[in-house]
Structure 1
Amino acid sequence: MLKKRYLTILVLSVALVITGIVLYQNQGSTKPLAEGDELPNMELELYGAGQKSLHDFKGQMVVLNVWASWCEPCIREMPELMDFAEETANDSVEVITVNMQNREYRASDATDFIEEQQLTLPVFLDSEGEFLAEIDPYRLPLTYILDENLTVKEIVIGEVDADMLHNKISDYQ
């Protein structure tokens, strides 16, 4: 009887310790940006323009694409994103991108890619991992459709094209 009581106390103690460890490890962690969430206001380096705020784009619909230079679907969709941006330039739709520079093999890979591809889109560089920590994009490429208040209306996982984006944006205009 006494052994049973000690065993019960031991099992409960181990369970409490494990629960404490799990809670401690998850303390302060963020959840991925989800539909209905507002894009957090943060400043990142905008390629060629210094520090800029993501909230500088408030007031217009935004297509926010997250990419890395080693990501094959990211590479394939860049011309489509540029075409879409050009086609919607007068429609109060802005296409911006965030490169996961802290996930590149070398920091220069992002800027080399931008120059090689002659990207015309605004590219924020997440060199310190601030965007990654706050937004927690869970797969690349990842595209957020944001309304004028920078609230996430839709999340597209995987490669996008101009036609797909036109269809998605028309649902919210």
Structure 2
Amino acid sequence: MKRNHIWAVVVLVALLAWGVVDAYVLDTGAENAATSEPGSVPIGLKKGNLAPDFELRQLGGGKVKLSDLRGKKVIVNLWATWCPPCRAEIPDMQRFYEANKANGVVILGVNLTTTETKPEDVEAFVQAYGMTFPVLLDDEKHVSGAYKAISIPTSFLIDSNGVIREKYIGPMSYEWMEKTLAGMQ
């Protein structure tokens, strides 16, 4: 029994260390070097950077490209069906999307498909939770890699110009999304 407690502590310390690395090391530096054009906003993952563009297949058909959503406020939410905090935030995200989609708010639920036991679990999960916002399938790890999704859920709030205004690790609440997006252009 004592050995189980030791392993639990080791795992907890490792997860906390990854959180520190994500927040303080990976969020600075090299990703800020790229720019879309000379004199423009740098492409990267820090607040004030242009969000890295991507195009993914949408559950149910078609593709969605982030840059095609300019002019709208976008939440890019990286998640998986097996993740308890991801499950916890879905009802608030769905409610927020329904209340704000007419005002130009888009939620892109980017499923980390390679982490799923069975890809068909994603569709069953979406139906069970009544998700109507676009669910994208990151089945080649392009977005999870580009957005450095070390822990999930991780969300990026992107303004109508394609600029990252907030990064949030953990389950978002309706109130937090409402307050944060209210101050964005």
TM-score where L is the length of structure 1: 0.77
Q: Which runs of 5+ in 1 are unaligned?
A: 1-29
**Paired position in structure 1 for 2:169:** 157
CA contact (8 A) 1:33 1:137 kept: no
TM-score normalised by the chain length of structure 2: 0.72
In our comparison, the structure showing a higher alpha carbon Rg is 1
| CA-based RMSD | 1.7
Aligned residues: 144
Which SS does the other structure have where 1:160 is aligned? coil
Residue 102 of structure 2 aligns to a residue in which SS?
coil
Cα pair 2:106 2:133 within 8 Å, conserved: no
The CA distance in 2 between the partners of 1:75 and 1:133, in whole Å, is 22
Equivalence for 2:34: none
**Amino acid of the structure 2 residue aligned with 1:138:** I
Shift of 1:37: 2.2
* % identity of equivalent residues: 28
The residue number in structure 2 matching 1:88 is: 100
Residue 119 of structure 2 corresponds to 107
With 43-52 and 71-80 compared, the bigger mean Cα shift is at: 43-52
- Alignment partner of 2:103: what SS? coil
Q: Distance in 2 between matches of 1:85 and 1:51?
A: 19
Where does the alignment leave 5 or more consecutive residues of structure 2 unmatched?
1-29, 32-43
Greater relative contact order (CA < 8 Å, ≥ 6 in sequence):
1
- Are the counterparts in 1 of residues 50 and 162 from structure 2 also a CA contact under 8 Å? yes
- Which residue in the other structure is 1:40 paired with? 52
2:110 aligned residue (80, 89, 98): 98
Matched, 1:59 2:71: yes
